[in-house]
Structure 1
Amino acid sequence: MTTIAIIGAGRGLGRAVARRFGSEGFSVALLSRSQSRVDALADELGAEGVHARGFAADVRDPASLAAALERATAELGPIEVLQYSPLPQKDFMRPVLETTPEDLRGPVEFSIYGPVAAVHQVLPGMRFLGEGRGTLLFVNGGSAVTPGRAVTGTSVAFAGQAAYLQLLHDELRDEGIHVAQLVIGGQIVEGDPEKDPGVLADHLWDLHTGRDRFRLQISAD
């Protein structure tokens, strides 16, 4: 049995993705800063028949993130799918003329250092699984493609992450490891026909299985 590791797992999109992939036989590693929250979510999913376990990690601490992914692999099995989808902190979103160099440190650690650390940790195992198995999924807000002057930190950091993902996609394509990005404009809304967590989880499943597109963008309208 292989595993999906969801970095930034919560009760919205993370739970929906865990259910979607769990229904396909995946074990689920739930990663967030709060051990108690991911433990509670793992218990809830377990009651639904999903094999899940929680692991505490801080995406702004590369060593913490790598160690949590290593534990997840040891306890649940090889990581076939990595999803990087933590919610940015509110203090990352400052107007452009008020943004200082120090204000960019957190967003860059969060959206660039974190993904790089996660990819370096899981990539050797994906290569071991063989061609056509490994998938690296990333979920971003709309500022990843359209910068917003009121959300400077995420706009700058998401742009850097998008460049990294494109380079990864081009470099790993011939190895059969798929890299894909889901860009969600606006808020995730339960019951919305386009932005309900379950609908978005289906899109992420399709990105993993279809393996034929780099970016899927859901508009804010």
Structure 2
Amino acid sequence: MSQPVIVVVGAGPGVGASVARRYGREGYAAALVSRPAEALEALGKQLQAEGITTGWTPVDVTDQQGLTEAITRFGGFADGIDVLHFNPSAFRQKHPLDLSVDELLEDVALGVGGLLTAVQAARPFMKAGARVTATGSMAADQPWNEAASLGVQKAGLRNLVHSLDATLAPDGIRAVSLTVRGSLGRGTPFDADYVADALYAAAHQPDESWRSEVPFTGGPTTGA
């Protein structure tokens, strides 16, 4: 495939769709991964109708083998992966005294472990200049105790991205998480389209001033 390719893990109607569209405007083909098959197909067909080359595979992000196989197929078909974007997290409204260890680990397996699986699967198809991006959250620093596992996920996600960036940088591949410091909402400063613009800008930072964590405080991003 002559087009550059972005793989969006956790592609839903919000940030995932907006990221696919943002890169689609730049000529990228989008490969989508998410669990709900019908919703994923609807999104894929909608992006195709908008003129974006799009493929999709429904898979549970916590299914290591399934996710690895899906990303491997995308990478093999396209003969490369230029951007891997990781979007999913689990919202479970339980405070620490109600949250079980099994529930915490289940959520972390999605919101953090899924990134590890995705990057390991994508790495053989990524060349110098490729990028890994992730949707982070202020919950990493300011967790809401009533959804305790979310803060753990986002703190772990950011930490893992730092480690991934340090590991991949010698090969010319960089990783960055965008810390969204507000609540997502259409028509607000934290509209998914603004988040997608900020993620695109974060992925295109100059190497000499690269930051593996970038805050997003809302609104349009200059130069996006």
Deviation at 1:219, TM superposition (A): 4.2
Deviation at 1:120, TM superposition (A): 0.4
Q: For residues 1-221 of structure 1, what are the structure 2 equivalents within 5 Å?
A: 1-88=3-90, 90-91=91-92, 93-126=93-126, 129=127, 131=128, 133-192=129-188, 194-211=189-206, 212-219=210-217
- Count of residue pairs brought into register by the alignment: 214
Task: Output the amino acid matched with 2:67.
Answer: L
How does the TM-score come out when normalised to structure 2?
0.88
Instruction: Measure the CA separation in 1 of the matches of 2:118 and 2:214.
Output: 21
- Which SS does the other structure have where 1:117 is aligned? helix
- Which SS does the other structure have where 1:147 is aligned? coil
How does the TM-score come out when normalised to structure 1?
0.89
Task: Output the amino acid matched with 2:18.
Answer: A
Contact 2:130 2:173 in 1 (8 A): yes
**Structure 1 gaps, min length 5:** none
- Which SS does the other structure have where 1:210 is aligned? coil
Deviations 1:47-93 (A, max 9, x none): 111001111111111111111111222334411100110142x33x3
Instruction: Measure the CA separation in 1 of the matches of 2:99 and 2:38.
Output: 34
Task: Output the amino acid matched with 1:114.
Answer: G
Instruction: Measure the CA separation in 1 of the matches of 2:72 and 2:42.
Output: 21
Task: Output the amino acid matched with 1:204.
Answer: L
Deviations 1:110-153 (A, max 9, x none): 12221111110011211xx2x2x111101122212323322211
Deviation at 1:103, TM superposition (A): 2.0
Contact 1:3 1:77 in 2 (8 A): no
Instruction: Measure the CA separation in 2 of the matches of 1:15 and 1:100.
Output: 32
In percent, how many aligned pairs have the same letter? 27
Contact 1:35 1:54 in 2 (8 A): no
CA 1:30–1:70: 2 relative to 1, 3 Å: same
Task: Output the amino acid matched with 1:14.
Answer: G
- Which SS does the other structure have where 2:142 is aligned? coil
CA 1:98–1:218: 2 relative to 1, 3 Å: same
